[in-house]
Structure 1
């Protein structure tokens, strides 16, 4: 019996030890949920006795310490915005904000992008954010309605960040009939002068807007309008346009190619540009046309006038009419200050009586179409300020007003599918506006009758 009692005691002791190990393992694999309410908390009928057998419960203090304290809000900063006035400098603006030249130097020294602040213009806005102890923490330079530059103090320096807002874009349409001038017709249609100039630039290779415009000519324009916070802030590019001059209609549509460059083409993909500008200067009148038998106004002899004279105020910029390389830039007898540009093997242009040359323009300089190369003057045998312009084809002089100008490159065949998919919706939109306008005009006529 003693042996039997000893065996039972040992068995009971082993059973209790095994139960304690199971309880310890269960606690490790089932962590206590901290977010249970009293009504949700419950014990499993098998686990409950085990928890009562020497199971240690976490102290309330330990549970509370596991919950992180809420972060303190950053201290408030004093923000002040100043509008740049005429005569203001960065130093003046910093002092106005309660800062010193040392603060200005620190910003420019630590953030190279801050050099842009040296180009502030009247109307720009600068916002200073200072800490409670008067230290500059943030500066925002508002370049315009869309672009700003923000400087933020970090550990030991300033970080710069470009900020740009995207305006809301709406499509607008204008149509007008010319009664006296292109600009007056554009103004009557609600177009800005810049938009009218853009329209003239698109069709400028086909239409001479000084000599060719006639009463009754019409045009229609589809373009972007940009809005910010519900307020119009400007116009975007012309998307498509149509111009009827002397009964002949020209059409143009804007295309952005695969490399991101934009140009205007006919709906068939031919470039609206020519390899040369028809007139390389903004002029008031043609003072002397191309004439092989003209009597020279100074020499009083019959001498061929191999170019066209464009009267313009002294100092008016003269543009290269096409891409090329300057062959000559200097004094040339009766021509006075002269520039000759070679355009490939076939074409050559000459610009004479210049008041001076643009800096950097000399023999061997490459120039691009539309780039200013000199300025109108009256040097050489000239009676007044004007540009004398000559145009040569294979060494033979041609009348620059009537010569057939070579076409610029059209859309390559490899991009035609992309071109059509991009421009066809734009052309369809222009045609829709034109139809709606015509129907509205017809309806008004019926109501009047």
Structure 2
């Protein structure tokens, strides 16, 4: 093929290519912008604007994150924490208590709780537990520390009133060892004022405010025996206030001490008595320091009735006129008989028509005789006893028609009428002892007044309160 032929073919191809480019269909070509916005233009513009805003917000954050961090000031605070024992770090305490029932044994309790016999054997052989086992009674509380893992960590035995020292024993199991652990108790003693109205019964009212028979006996037999006739002098609206020390153990009242001070307000008149230790012995005194103790008790038997006085009479058994050299007090069999005064026991035994009798020697030639007893107390010949000590009990031994006490008083062997004996009272307090006593009485009276001023307002009931505590209601006795 010549050069002219090649040129002819190249021209022919170019013409066909140009013709193909010209024949593109018109609808595929974009329309030219003619100055007016269509819906498509607005959609495109909104999409591009949104994309631009997002890019503008994100890009600066990336640039900041890529920068190296600057220096930051730091502070470390050390907080000391308490060290926990091994027991607290592992498991918690789970105490379970069992109160022994009649016939129940410690081995039975172990078996009931599924505690291994090996641990029971360790407990039974412990030197502190062995003597307790003989004293266990129904009501003894046995507690076990039983963690969730089924082991036994510790046990505690509380004997209550049967305990020698009053404290429970706690034993801790440590592997094959068993060791004793101290049990901490919270024991507090505080002085309180117990106050109430006599009401229908002094005994019942005293019991309601927290006084026991011991404190009531101190009121009636030691403090106000010669100033108040408790059978006829008291009115239901008369009031009493008593100062005592109370001992609390683990939040429970366990003991009320002797009466430290007491007042009776009768028809607006105040009678008061105070406890004071003289020569190592407690006594009760009037506010001016005079002892309320008498050398001899005229009636050495409480709640008795005088049935025969001193002098001549027909003997109820012998049936003839005979000098009655003492006085007789009728009372039920077993009524306690008290020593009329401090003395040494001279005779205890059977004495003819007196039956079972006790003779006390009070010194300075004065003796007293107590006859017709049903039985003796713990008095032994040669023993010293204090006034009010129980030496025997009422009976009808010897020449007697019924249970009563025959009481005689002799001076140098001569019988005297016990009801008419006048003996000098004990020496009153003097000097420094009197000054210290009066300081004590002022404080006690201040406590009593503080309580009474609060609780005996119109419409108030019988209450109990401490001088340094809020007043708490103790009973509901209406004023009569």
Provide TM-score, normalisation by structure 1: 0.65
Task: Name 1:300's counterpart in structure 2.
Answer: 319
Structure 1 residue 137 corresponds to structure 2 residue 154 = yes
- The SS at the match of 1:304 is strand
Tell me how far apart the structure 1 counterparts of residues 144 and 426 of structure 2 sit (CA, whole Å): 51
Classify 1:304/1:436 alpha carbon distance in 2 versus 1 (closer, same or farther; 3 Å).
farther
433 and 138 in structure 1: CA distance in 2 versus 1, 3 angstrom threshold: closer
Could you tell me whether the CA contact under 8 Å between 2:297 and 2:340 is conserved in 1? yes
Q: Displacement, 1:337?
A: 0.8
- 1:147-195 CA distance string (max 9 Å, x none): 63233348856436475432474734424356x65436657x8565635
Task: For residues 187-223 of structure 1, give each alpha carbon's deviation from its aligned partner in whole angstroms, at most 9, with x where no partner exists.
Answer: 7x85656354442234254257566645579442133
Counterparts of 2:254 and 2:227 in 1: how far apart (Å)?
31
Where does 1:164-313 land on structure 2 (aligned, <5 Å)?
Answer: 164-167=185-188, 169=190, 171-176=192-197, 182-183=202-203, 186=206, 190=209, 194=213, 195-207=215-227, 209=229, 213=233, 215=235, 218-224=238-244, 237-243=258-264, 250-255=271-276, 262-286=282-306, 288-313=307-332
Match of 1:378 in 2: 396
- Could you tell me which residue of structure 2 aligns to residue 79 of structure 1? 95
Distance 1:405 1:89 in 2: 61
Cα displacement string for residues 22-67 of structure 1 (whole angstroms, at most 9, x for unaligned residues)? xxxxxxxxxxxxxxx99689xxxxxxxxxxxxxxxxxxxxxxxxxx
Q: Does the CA contact (< 8 Å) of 1:205 and 1:273 recur in 2? A: no
| Bigger radius of gyration | 2
2:364 counterpart of 1:345 = yes
Alpha-carbon distance change, 266 to 151 in structure 1, aligned in 2, over 3 angstroms: same
Cα deviation for residue 335 of structure 1 reads 0.2
* SS of match in other structure, 2:300: coil
Larger RCO, structure (CA 8 Å, separation 6 or more): 2
Match among 377, 401, 410 for residue 358 of structure 1: 377
Quote the Cα distance in structure 1 between the aligned partners of 2:323 and 2:366.
Answer: 20
The 1:124/1:316 distance shift into structure 2, 3 A limit, reads: farther
* Structure 1 position 382, deviation (Å): 0.7
SS in 1 for 2:187: coil
Query: What's the CA shift for 1:383?
Result: 1.0
Matched position secondary structure for 2:322: coil
Pick the aligned partner of 2:180 from 149, 156, 159: 159
- Shifted more, 289-298 versus 155-164: the winner is 155-164
Q: Give the unaligned 5+ runs of structure 1.
A: 1-36, 42-68, 444-449
8 Å contact kept, 2:152–2:173:
no
Checking the alignment, whether the CA contact within 8 Å between 1:174 and 1:191 is kept in structure 2 is no
RMSD after superposition? 4.4
Deviation at 1:362, TM superposition (A): 3.1
Of 425, 434, 443, the match for 1:425? 443
CA separation of 1:358 and 1:196: change in aligned 2, threshold 3 A: closer
Measure how far apart 1:353 and its partner are.
Answer: 0.7
